[in-house]
Structure 1
Amino acid sequence: MLKNFFKIAYRNFMRQRVYSLVNTTGLAIGVVCFLLIFLYIHDELSYDTFHSKSDRTYRVIEHFESDGVGEHSASQPFPVGPTLQSEYPGQVEYMTRLFNFQSPFLALANRTLDRNFNEPNVFFVDSTFFDVFDYELVVGDKNTALDEPNAILITESMAKKYFSDQNPLGQNLQFQGEQNLVVKGVLADAPLNAHFQYDFLISFATLRTQYPNRVIKGWYWNPCWTYLVLKDQSEAVTLTSMFPDFVQKYFDEGVRDDVALELQPLTDIHLKSKLDYEIKANSNENNIYVFSAVAVFVLLIAVINFINLSTARATKRAKEVGIRKALGSLRQQLICQFVFESLLQTVFAIAIAMIGIVFLLPSFNALTEKSITLLTFWSPLYISAMLGLILFIGLIAGFYPAFVLSSFKTTEVIKGGKLNNHGIKFRRVLVVLQFSISMILIAGTIMAILQLNYLQDSDLGFDQKAVVMIPVIKTPIAQHYENMKSEMLSHATIRSVTALEEVLGAKHQVMNYEFEGTEKSRPYPRLFVRHDFLKTFDIPLLAGRAYDPSYVTDDSLALVVNETMIKQLGYGAAEQGVGKSVKLQGRSGKIVGVVEDFNFTSKHHPMSPIAVDLWTAPFTFNLFMKYMAVKVDRDNLPASLVVIEKTWQKFIPSRPFEYFFLEDRLAASYKSEAKLSMITTVFSGLAILVACLGLFGLATFTMEQRTKEIGIRKVLGIKTREIVLLLSKDFMVLVGLSFIIAVPVAYVMIDWWLAGFAYRIDVVMWPFLVAGGATFSVAMLTVGIHSLKAATINPARTLKYE
Structure 2
Amino acid sequence: MGNYFKTAFRSLKRNKGFTFLNLAGLTIGVAVCLLIIFYVVDETSYDRYNSNGNRIYRVNTDTKINTSITSSAIAAPRVAAALRLNFPEVENTVRLLADEEVRFKKGDELVMEKNALFCDPSIFDIFTLPLLEGDPNTALTEPNTIVLTERMAEKYFGTTHVLGKVLVRVGDRNSNTSLKITGVIKNLPAQSHFEGDFFESMVGLPIAGNENFAAFFPFHTYVLLKPQADYKKLEGKFPAFLKKYLDFIEAMEKQGDYIKLNLTPLYDIHLQSNRANELGVNGNIQYIYIYSGVALFILLLACINFMNLSTAHSASRAKEVGIRKVLGSPRIGLMLQFISESLLLSCFSMLAAIVLAWALLPLFNNIAGKNLTLTGSTLGWLLPAIIGITVVVGLLAGAYPAFFLSAFNPIKVFKGQTAAGFKGNRLRNWLVVFQFSISIFLIIGTLIVYNQLRYMQQRPLGFNRKQVLLVKHINTLNNQGVTFKQEVLGVPGVASASLSSFVPTGHRRWTNYVSANNNTHQTEFWPVDEDYLRTMSMSLDKGRDFNPALSSDSSAMIINETAASVMGFSGDALDKTIVFGNNQKQYHIIGVVKDFNFNSLRDNVAAVVLTMTTAFERKKQGDRPDVLAIKVNNDNLPALLSQIENKWKRFSGNQEFDYSFMDEDFDNLYRTEQRTGKIAVWFTSLAILIACLGLFGLAAYTAEQRTREIGIRKVLGANVPDLVAMLAINFLKLVGIAFLVAAPLAWLFMNKWLQGFAYRESISAWIFIAAGVGAFLIAGLTISSQFIKAAIANPVQSLKVE
TMscore range, shorter length: over 0.9
SS in 1 for 2:93: strand
Q: Measure how far apart 1:78 and its partner are.
A: 3.0
Cα–Cα, structure 1 residues 759 and 776, in superposed 2: closer, same or farther, change >3 Å?
Answer: same
What one-letter code is carried by the residue in structure 2 that aligns with 1:204?
M
Query: What is the CA–CA distance in structure 1 between the aligned matches of 2:187 and 2:800, rounded to whole Å?
Result: 72
Query: What is the CA–CA distance in structure 2 between the aligned matches of 1:271 and 1:68, rounded to whole Å?
Result: 28
Query: What is the CA–CA distance in structure 2 between the aligned matches of 1:126 and 1:470, rounded to whole Å?
Result: 33
Question: What does residue 777 of structure 1 align with?
Answer: 777
What one-letter code is carried by the residue in structure 2 that aligns with 1:609?
A
Query: What is the CA–CA distance in structure 2 between the aligned matches of 1:770 and 1:651, rounded to whole Å?
Result: 57
Alignment of 1:182-581 (within 5 A): 182-205=180-203, 208=205, 211=206, 220-232=215-227, 234-250=229-245, 257=252, 258-375=258-375, 382-416=382-416, 418-421=418-421, 424-472=425-473, 475-477=476-478, 479-507=479-507, 508-515=509-516, 517=517, 519-555=518-554, 557-573=555-571, 576-581=572-577
SS in 2 for 1:480: helix
Question: What does residue 14 of structure 2 align with?
Answer: 15
**1:123 equivalent among 97, 108, 117:** 117
What CA deviation, in whole Å up to 9, does each residue of 1:484-529 have, x standing for no partner? Answer: 22222122322222222334245532222111x3x33232222222
**2:611 equivalent among 607, 610, 613:** 613
Cα–Cα, structure 1 residues 25 and 340, in superposed 2: closer, same or farther, change >3 Å?
Answer: same
CA contact (8 A) 1:301 1:434 kept: yes
1:132 aligns with 2:129: no
Query: What is the CA–CA distance in structure 2 between the aligned matches of 1:659 and 1:233, rounded to whole Å?
Result: 50
**1:144 equivalent among 123, 127, 138:** 138
CA contact (8 A) 2:67 2:566 kept: no
SS in 2 for 1:635: coil
What one-letter code is carried by the residue in structure 2 that aligns with 1:444?
G
Query: What is the CA–CA distance in structure 2 between the aligned matches of 1:120 and 1:745, rounded to whole Å?
Result: 44
Q: Measure how far apart 1:560 and its partner are.
A: 0.6
What CA deviation, in whole Å up to 9, does each residue of 1:45-87 have, x standing for no partner? Answer: 22222312222211112223312315322223333323332x2
Question: What does residue 67 of structure 1 align with?
Answer: 66
Alignment of 1:682-761 (within 5 A): 682-761=682-761
1:155 aligns with 2:153: no
CA contact (8 A) 1:99 1:125 kept: yes
SS in 2 for 1:577: coil
Question: What does residue 88 of structure 1 align with?
Answer: 86
Cα–Cα, structure 1 residues 520 and 406, in superposed 2: closer, same or farther, change >3 Å?
Answer: closer
CA contact (8 A) 1:467 1:632 kept: yes
Query: What is the CA–CA distance in structure 2 between the aligned matches of 1:750 and 1:762, rounded to whole Å?
Result: 10
Cα–Cα, structure 1 residues 242 and 637, in superposed 2: closer, same or farther, change >3 Å?
Answer: farther
Cα–Cα, structure 1 residues 360 and 779, in superposed 2: closer, same or farther, change >3 Å?
Answer: same
SS in 2 for 1:259: strand
What one-letter code is carried by the residue in structure 2 that aligns with 1:510?
T
Question: What does residue 106 of structure 2 align with?
Answer: 110
CA contact (8 A) 1:100 1:123 kept: yes
Cα–Cα, structure 1 residues 21 and 733, in superposed 2: closer, same or farther, change >3 Å?
Answer: same
Cα–Cα, structure 1 residues 472 and 71, in superposed 2: closer, same or farther, change >3 Å?
Answer: farther
Cα–Cα, structure 1 residues 256 and 27, in superposed 2: closer, same or farther, change >3 Å?
Answer: farther
Cα–Cα, structure 1 residues 89 and 708, in superposed 2: closer, same or farther, change >3 Å?
Answer: same
Q: Measure how far apart 1:379 and its partner are.
A: 5.9
What CA deviation, in whole Å up to 9, does each residue of 1:1-52 have, x standing for no partner? Answer: x222122212211221001111011011011112212221222222222312
Q: Measure how far apart 1:530 and its partner are.
A: 2.1
What is the aligned length? 787
Cα–Cα, structure 1 residues 364 and 672, in superposed 2: closer, same or farther, change >3 Å?
Answer: same
Q: Measure how far apart 1:756 and its partner are.
A: 1.8
What one-letter code is carried by the residue in structure 1 that aligns with 2:528?
V
Q: Measure how far apart 1:474 and its partner are.
A: 5.9
Question: What does residue 35 of structure 1 align with?
Answer: 34
What one-letter code is carried by the residue in structure 2 that aligns with 1:677?
G
Cα–Cα, structure 1 residues 488 and 405, in superposed 2: closer, same or farther, change >3 Å?
Answer: closer
SS in 2 for 1:504: coil
Cα–Cα, structure 1 residues 47 and 788, in superposed 2: closer, same or farther, change >3 Å?
Answer: same
Query: What is the CA–CA distance in structure 2 between the aligned matches of 1:270 and 1:255, rounded to whole Å?
Result: 34
Question: What does residue 255 of structure 2 align with?
Answer: none
CA contact (8 A) 1:542 1:594 kept: yes
What CA deviation, in whole Å up to 9, does each residue of 1:331-350 have, x standing for no partner? Answer: 21111211221122122212
CA contact (8 A) 1:530 1:614 kept: yes
Cα–Cα, structure 1 residues 79 and 640, in superposed 2: closer, same or farther, change >3 Å?
Answer: farther
Question: What does residue 44 of structure 1 align with?
Answer: 43
Alignment of 1:590-629 (within 5 A): 590-616=588-614, 617-618=617-618, 621=621, 625-629=625-629
Q: Measure how far apart 1:604 and its partner are.
A: 1.8
Cα–Cα, structure 1 residues 377 and 346, in superposed 2: closer, same or farther, change >3 Å?
Answer: farther
| TM-score in terms of structure 2 length | 0.92
What one-letter code is carried by the residue in structure 2 that aligns with 1:144?
T
What one-letter code is carried by the residue in structure 1 that aligns with 2:556?
A
What one-letter code is carried by the residue in structure 1 that aligns with 2:166?
N
SS in 2 for 1:13: helix
Query: What is the CA–CA distance in structure 1 between the aligned matches of 2:54 and 2:14, rounded to whole Å?
Result: 57
SS in 2 for 1:553: helix
Query: What is the CA–CA distance in structure 2 between the aligned matches of 1:141 and 1:214, rounded to whole Å?
Result: 25
**Identity within the alignment, %:** 37
Query: What is the CA–CA distance in structure 2 between the aligned matches of 1:238 and 1:701, rounded to whole Å?
Result: 64
Q: Measure how far apart 1:437 and its partner are.
A: 0.7
What one-letter code is carried by the residue in structure 1 that aligns with 2:135?
D
Query: What is the CA–CA distance in structure 2 between the aligned matches of 1:150 and 1:255, rounded to whole Å?
Result: 41
Query: What is the CA–CA distance in structure 2 between the aligned matches of 1:256 and 1:90, rounded to whole Å?
Result: 29
What one-letter code is carried by the residue in structure 2 that aligns with 1:92?
V
What CA deviation, in whole Å up to 9, does each residue of 1:764-793 have, x standing for no partner? Answer: 121222222222112111111111122222
Query: What is the CA–CA distance in structure 2 between the aligned matches of 1:523 and 1:262, rounded to whole Å?
Result: 20
What CA deviation, in whole Å up to 9, does each residue of 1:712-749 have, x standing for no partner? Answer: 22233322222222222221211122112111111111
Cα–Cα, structure 1 residues 80 and 5, in superposed 2: closer, same or farther, change >3 Å?
Answer: same
SS in 2 for 1:416: coil
Cα–Cα, structure 1 residues 215 and 462, in superposed 2: closer, same or farther, change >3 Å?
Answer: farther
SS in 1 for 2:476: coil
Q: Measure how far apart 1:300 and its partner are.
A: 1.9
Q: Measure how far apart 1:440 and its partner are.
A: 0.4
Query: What is the CA–CA distance in structure 1 between the aligned matches of 2:247 and 2:781, rounded to whole Å?
Result: 72
